[in-house]
Structure 1
Amino acid sequence: MAEQAADVEGAVADAPSPVRKGVVALVTVLIVQVLFALCLVSALQLLVPRNMLFGVAGPPSRVVAAVASKVSLQPHGYRSETALRGAIGDGRLYGGYVSGRTRDTLIVVPAQSFFGQIEIEGAFTAAAKVLQRPVTVETVKPLPSGDRVGAVVGLLLLPLLIGGYLAAVLVFKAAGGTAAAPWRALILTGYAVVGALLTDLIAGPGLGAYATSHFWPLLPCFALVTTAVVLSAAAVQSLVGKFGTLLVAVAFIVVGGAGAGSSGPYLLPVYWRNIGVLFPPQNAVHLIRNVLYFDGNDISTPLTVLFLYAFAGVAVIGYMGRIRPARAASARRDTSAPAPARPGRRGLPILVALALCALMQCLFAVNYTSAAHSPAATDMPFGVTGPSPVLTAAQKTFSLKVHHYRDESAVKDAIDRTEIWGALIPAPAPAASTLIVVPSISDLAPLDIAVQFKRAAAAVHQPLAVRPYAPVKLAKKDPFGVVQSLMLVPLLIGGYMSAALLMAATGRAGGRWRAAALAAFAVLAGLVVDLVVCLWLDGYPRSSFWIVWPICSLIVAVVAFVAAVLQKLIGSAGTLLTVVLVILFGNPSNGGANGVPYLPAFWRDIGPYLPPRNGYVLLHHTIYFHGHGTTQALAVLLAYLAVAAVALVLLDQLRPDPGVEPQAAEAAAMAVPIGAAP
């Protein structure tokens, strides 16, 4: 084995330079892809309270003690209910419990964390019922209709973070690599303000994700976030050079994005919460949430951190901008080399780069926010075994597409085939009807269905029992069924980055071995992601390991081959077009963990024609529904792969490849939003 390894190593070492560069490029993509999968899944697969800040007031309560023994809370005692409510209003607590003589009050705070509220309310009401202690649940700081699940803060972070990253990278390329030019800081700061204004206009007045009264308070926050990202990214590039682009992407988007805590930082693993506080994304989330929902209270820390990033960026850019020109002038005197082009000569390329960046930022703000800021079910597939006043009452407020079945066994068969997402088994009064929910179909649908039908049952004075059913139980470390949505993003990114960096390394958009190299990369990448998510992180049952591997490889291969064909046709711009199709339109339309019924009509309609929706369905239904309902998804992905593979081979044979400028290809590969997620 050692001799064979030495022979392989020697063969690679003796291979032509383009081959060595291609191998290095693909290995780099694989490392980034695996790191992204590891960070994203480990941070978000298990969103449960971890040392969650919680207030208590009044006499010691057995209910609080019972909950604290099962749920990871960090209780803080307050001398009075008024003091407790003040701390909640300042955004410092996730909830509170006020114990009284005969009755207690549980205070929940949806604006702090939607999922945190669900965990806290469920735990306290269950404990109070067991201990026979009357408790009233009171909601403060409720989420508005434009942000019913608290997704807006995370969705706002996406265009701000990506916009700053893109601006730093594209201006660096447009300026010919002069990352430390003193005029660059001013240009990037100006773009940050413009990008913030565009994002604010789109998300607020444009899409109604938040009230227009928040437009002006949020504008400086958005500008600060983008400024911190863009200037610190430019500073890293000035210190490291072109590899600074990759370093910034890993630090700010892969690592920083995973620890952002948009669902609530105290739902993250403790180590991720502590890592995240060091980077702009988590501080941006804290700043935006508290300005949006807590009247701007408790924002000193995020303001300090973000300003430090911005000031450090300006300092490094200014320092390097003074040293490098002096060294360049000295070199010209010694060698009589021609002087570099003045910045003014690059004005047009920089303006074009900034315009492209603004377009991408606007697309991120429009697409992701419109698709997910206020998920509401439309035509939810639902089964019944007979007429019921509960169903009639539920349909007045809940959009259902009702299917009729003869009995409960037929209902479960339909759930197994993914035909329905829940069902009602009516029973004659005074017996309770049974509502069946499916935890493995969606993270939101079971809760939504249960809440809607409980309200309907109460309105018609009918008893209702809720019972979960799933063909395959969710993994212990994926209780909300979000892992497939999370792991899909690194698979998509690995696909287009492999094609882009391979082109950058070889300087060609084609070649006889290019298709084989991408296919081999897809097989290896699918295996490694499967190993990390399944065996390392326990993201889904290990019994699915072998069937998930080819699915992951298929998703990577589809995106890689589509990108390769577009690159062959239009050069480096093909990478950008792939990003637009796959990340900017495909990913928001895949439905993700919420599910397709929660998408607006436009996104629901285009999803079946794009790879991300079909990749997610194939992954999710194979793992949790024994492969039922995957025929169309598999056919679409195989069609994409076959057409792209044939097109790539024909183009290589019939269309000469003049080669591509490596820097242009690199810019297209790295100046793309590798951190996009639903």
Structure 2
Amino acid sequence: MAKQAAPAAGERRAAAKIVFALGLVLFAQALLALCLVSAQQLLVPRNMPFGVTGPPSPVVAAVASQTGLDLAGYPSASAVTNAADRGELYGAYVSGGASDTLIVVPSKSFFAQTELEPAFLDAAHKLGRPVTVQTVKPLASTDPVGAVTSLLLLPLLIGGYLAAVLVYKAAHGVAAAPWRAAILIGYALVGALLTDLIAGLGIGAYSSSHFWPLLPCFWLVTSAVALSAAAMQALVGKMGTLLVAVLFIVIGGPPAGGLGTYLLPVYWRNIGVVLPPQSAVTLINHVLYFGGSDISTPLVVLFLYAAAGTAVIGWYGRIRPARAAARAAGATAPAAAAAPPPDRRRAVIGMLAALGICAVMQCLFATNYMSASHAPKATDLPFGVVGTSPVLPAAQKTISLKVTQYPNEAAAKTAIDEARIFGALVSSGTSNTLIVVPSMSDLAPLDLAVKFEEAAKATGQKVALQQYAPTPLAAKDPFGLVQGLMLVPLLIGGYMSSTLLMAATGRAAGRWRAAQLAGFAVVSGLVIDLIVCYWLQGFPSHKFWITWPICSLIVAVVAFVAAILQKLLGPVGTLVTVVVMILFGNPSSGGASGVPYLPAFWRDIGPYLPPRNGYILLHHTIYFDGHGTGQALTTLLVYLGVAAAVLIALDLRRPEAAVPVDATEAAAMSVPIGATP
């Protein structure tokens, strides 16, 4: 009886470990989805600092009654312009005289400008008040939508975090060794230099004149994250790395405010104030575009994190051990005397190898995400035309269009319904109507409107703007960002489930491995669908049931691919999965802006990787009734079928050795990768 009970107890313990591991993944995945989507799904002005000068204006009153502006009065036009020039305001309105002046500050927030400028111009037109637009601190041509700041944050956060994790692992869990702070600060300088070289001099995301001013900023950000992570490891052990991932990346990343801090929900903005990512974004943005003005607060926050981390590391690494040694100086300690000396050479080699891996990952994040997204520009944007107009050839001088002729407006709208074109120009005599599709792309409607308005002026024509979409964007997703935000936790949940299942069982294979991952995918897809659809109202509720299997399919594909790579390569398979799915797959997905806005390399590799196919399947199913999803669905099903067959064959035929990795370490390594701020 005892012999029979022992295997049964062992099986129960193994099952409990598996359930706990997958439950941990599900919790992390749900938390990431909740944070990402709730912070960024509805980017509108909220208590946004806005300057006014001159007599009270009905234009300002009309806009302020409908838009979340925090109005601040200034004594003169020069005073309010200087405040905008220092980065203190998102815009300003100068009233009085023959005409008014609207001041916009695109470097503060490109998306805030796209909200404020149309609102003020429309109100001024309705009230019969002439107004001119003055731009203060325009964005660089290499950063036309202000994406560079948030893209720089990603490698700096990941670099600092991974440095602490990998050095901790290389040192065999000794988190507070006396040399830890010096090593991390030294790596932070190397990582900052690499990021600066890649993003600035290599890719040209900002001018070379900003290389030296940004270098100490990058160094400080990476140091603050790395030292804080090491301090938490010293305080709570391996769980400290997971805690840092949750605080700094899962919770701290979404409210970083790369698109504009005052576009975030107020509670997220307040959370972000006390965490490094938002301070890092403010620091980088103000050094890059505002000459380093108004950076005292972010500097203080980041220095406090770095100083606190150094103090904790110093206490646990030097002061406390020294006091313990002094107390034991007069006592006999045979066990300590007999302890073998540490293998310093081996430790140094391990540290260098760990930091080398970290540097490679940081370089890949800086290179891939920056090169894919820093300067979105349409290439062969699918576009429909009805009739003929001189406006079209004039517009094509400034925007690359792949034009398809349609016999009438109904045919063009049918093409839009089927997700085949991003917009259309309908011309009849001297009448021109530009149809834009906000549910197809967040950037294309604005891009098309600006280019065709310029073309109309150049040709002496008039163009009326019409918004059209088969399924309008959800009220809480006005920019069509939700599907791109959903994709990140789905991808991460896929490889985390396989990684922690490997950690729980101690092996990268098992008889029921495929079934366990498939079951997790079903539950995971349901949880993400419930959170985004019903809790956050990120897309129409009648799409709930069709979205669930799509979410589960994405998770299952990534999980199966990760399981195969882990079976063949061991724990290194997780790293390879991250590289394929996150470092190459996610940037090539196209996201909310759309595939035509990707550079050629990223456009070309995307069709062969799951993230783009997953995004298209999600997005087109929700907003285009499944049109244009055949190729994406087929690709994902082929991935799933082939991966499942290979995984089952490997599990049945290939002998498996134990994998020396624990669940906490695997979770800490897996959670943050891809949680883009």
1:421 counterpart letter in structure 2: F
1:291 aligns with 287
Post-superposition Cα deviations, 1:87-114, rounded to whole Å, max 9, x if no partner, equal: 1111100000000122100000000000
Written as runs of structure 1 = structure 2, the 5 A alignment for 1:598-609 is: 598-609=597-608
Q: Is the partner of 1:147 in helix, strand or coil? A: coil
Return the letter of the residue paired with 2:668: M
Distance 2:496 2:156 in 1: 22
Partner in structure 1 of residue 143 of structure 2: 147
- Alpha-carbon shift at residue 671 of structure 1 (Å): 2.4
Which stretch of structure 1 is more off in the superposition, 326-335 or 239-248? 326-335
Look up the match of 1:35: 31
Q: Quote the residue 2:122 is aligned against.
A: 126
CA contact (8 A) 1:587 1:677 kept: no
Where do 1:480-495 residues align within 5 Å? 480-495=479-494
Deviations 1:172-209 (A, max 9, x none): 00110000111011000000000000000000010010
Aligned mates of 2:256, 2:334 — CA distance in 1: 50
Please give the alpha-carbon distance, in whole angstroms, between the structure 2 residues aligned to 1:502 and 1:563: 11
1:506 shift after superposition = 1.4
- The residue correspondences of 1:405-554 to structure 2 (distance < 5 A) are 405-429=406-430, 432-554=431-553
Task: Give the drift of 1:675.
Answer: 4.0
* Count of equivalent residues: 665
The structural deviation recorded for 1:340 is 6.5
| 1:430-479 deviation per Cα after TM superposition (whole angstroms, max 9, x unaligned) | xx211100010010011101111111011101111010110001100000
For 1:101 and 1:46, locate their aligned partners in 2 and report how far apart those are by CA, in whole Å: 37
State the alpha-carbon separation in 2 of the partners of residues 657 and 333 from structure 1: 43
CA–CA separation in structure 1 for the residues paired with 2:448 and 2:69: 28
Please say if 1:173 is aligned against 2:169.
Answer: yes
CA drift at 1:368 = 0.2
**One-letter code aligned to 1:187:** I
| Alpha-carbon shift at residue 668 of structure 1 (Å) | 5.4
Equivalent positions of 1:182-197 (< 5 A) are 182-197=178-193
C-alpha change, 1:325 and 1:28, in structure 2 (3 Å) is: farther
Distance 1:62 1:332 in 2: 85
Partner of 1:394: 395
Residues 658 and 47 of structure 1: CA distance in aligned 2, closer, same or farther (over 3 Å) = same
Question: 1:7-22 to 2 correspondence within 5 Å?
Answer: 15-22=11-18
Are the aligned partners of 1:254 and 1:675 in contact in 2 as well (CA < 8 Å)?
A: no
Query: What does residue 346 of structure 1 align with?
Result: 347
Q: Percent identity?
A: 67
Deviations along 1:495-528, one digit per CA (max 9) or x if unpaired, are 0011111111211000112211111111111000
Structure 2 residue 223 is the aligned partner of structure 1 residue 222: no
1:613-652 → structure 2 map (5 Å cutoff): 613-652=612-651
User: Is the 2:424–2:436 contact (alpha carbons within 8 Å) kept by the matching residues of 1?
Assistant: yes
- Cα distance in 2 for residues equivalent to 1:43 and 1:676: 13
Provide the secondary structure at the position in 2 that maps to 1:286: helix
Letter in 2 for 1:182: P
CA distance in 2, matches of 1:58, 1:162: 47
Inter-partner Cα distance in structure 1 for 2:15 and 2:444: 49
Query: Per-residue deviation at 1:82?
Result: 1.1
Q: In the alignment, which of 56, 67, 80 is matched to residue 52 of structure 2?
A: 56
- 2:576 aligned residue: 577
- Residue 91 of structure 2: which of 83, 95, 99 is its match? 95
- Paired residue for 2:669? 671
CA contact (8 A) 2:242 2:667 kept: no
SS of the equivalent of 2:179 reads: helix
Quote the residue 2:385 is aligned against: 384
* 8 A contact 1:575–1:669 mirrored in 2: no
Q: Helix, strand or coil for the counterpart of 1:426?
A: strand
Letter in 2 for 1:424: L
Q: Secondary structure at the match of 2:384?
A: strand
5+ residue gaps in structure 1?
1-10
| Deviation per residue, 1:121-146 (Å, 9 max, x gap) | 01100110111100001111000110
CA pair 349-62 structure 1, distance change in 2 beyond 3 A: same
Q: Does the 8 A contact of 2:181 with 2:227 survive in 1? A: yes
How many Å separate the matches in 1 of 2:198 and 2:240? 31
Provide the C-alpha distance between the structure 2 equivalents of 1:631 and 1:231, rounded to a whole number of angstroms. 48
Whether contact under 8 Å (2:217, 2:284) holds in the other structure is yes
**CA offsets, 1:339-385, max 9 Å, x none?**
47355531101100000000000000000000000000000000011
Q: Contact 1:249 / 1:674 at 8 angstroms: preserved in 2?
A: no
SS in 1 for 2:102: strand
1:156 aligns with 2:157: no
Moved more, 95-104 or 364-373: 95-104
Q: Once the two structures are superposed, what CA deviation does each residue of 1:582-609 show, in whole Å capped at 9, x if it has no partner?
A: 0000000000001000000000000000
Q: Which runs of no fewer than 5 residues in structure 2 stay unpaired?
A: 1-6
- C-alpha distance in 1 between matches for 2:406 and 2:658: 61
1:652 and 1:659 map into 2 onto residues whose CA distance is 13
Shift of 1:674: 2.4
1: distance between equivalents of 2:578 and 2:418?
Answer: 33
Give the residue type in structure 2 aligned to 1:276.
Answer: G
Q: Match of 1:309?
A: 305
TM-score where L is the length of structure 2: 0.96
Is the deviation greater in 667-676 or in 313-322? Answer: 667-676
Secondary structure (helix, strand or coil) at the match of 1:192 reads helix
Alpha-carbon contact 2:503-2:666 (below 8 Å) kept = no
CA distance in 1, matches of 2:290, 2:494: 41
Spell out, residue by residue over 1:231-285, the C-alpha distance to the aligned partner (whole angstroms, 9 max, x if none). 0011011111111111110000010001100001000000000000110000000
Alpha-carbon contact 1:170-1:667 (below 8 Å) kept: no
**Local SS of the residue matching 1:54:** strand
Deviation at 1:18, TM superposition (A): 2.5
For 1:602-631, what per-residue CA distance to the aligned partner results, in whole angstroms no more than 9, with x for missing partners?
A: 000000000000000000000000000000
Q: CA deviation at 1:14?
A: 7.5
> SS in structure 2 opposite 1:16?
helix
Letter in 1 for 2:41: Q
1:447 counterpart letter in structure 2: L
Tell whether 2:246 aligns with 1:250: yes
SS at match of 1:527: helix
Verify the 8 A CA contact 1:500 1:666 in the aligned structure 2: no
Query: For 1:564-596, what per-residue CA distance to the aligned partner results, in whole angstroms no more than 9, with x for missing partners?
Result: 000000100000000000000000000000100
Distance 2:9 2:550 in 1: 33
The answer on whether the counterparts of 1:332 and 1:338 sit within 8 Å (CA) in structure 2 is no
SS of the residue corresponding to residue 146 of structure 1 reads coil
Secondary structure of the 1:593 match is: coil
CA distance in 1, matches of 2:408, 2:47: 45
1:332 deviates by 10
Does structure 1 retain, via aligned residues, the 8 Å contact 2:494–2:559? Answer: yes
Give the counterpart letter for 1:301 in structure 2: T
Query: What is the letter of the counterpart of residue 416 of structure 2?
Result: I
AA matched with 1:308: L
For the 8 Å contact 1:165–1:233, the answer to whether it is kept is: yes
Is the 2:253–2:676 contact (alpha carbons within 8 Å) kept by the matching residues of 1? no
Q: Aligned in 2, Cα 1:597/1:172: closer, same or farther, shift over 3 Å?
A: same
Contact in 1 for aligned 2:239/2:664 (Cα 8 Å): no
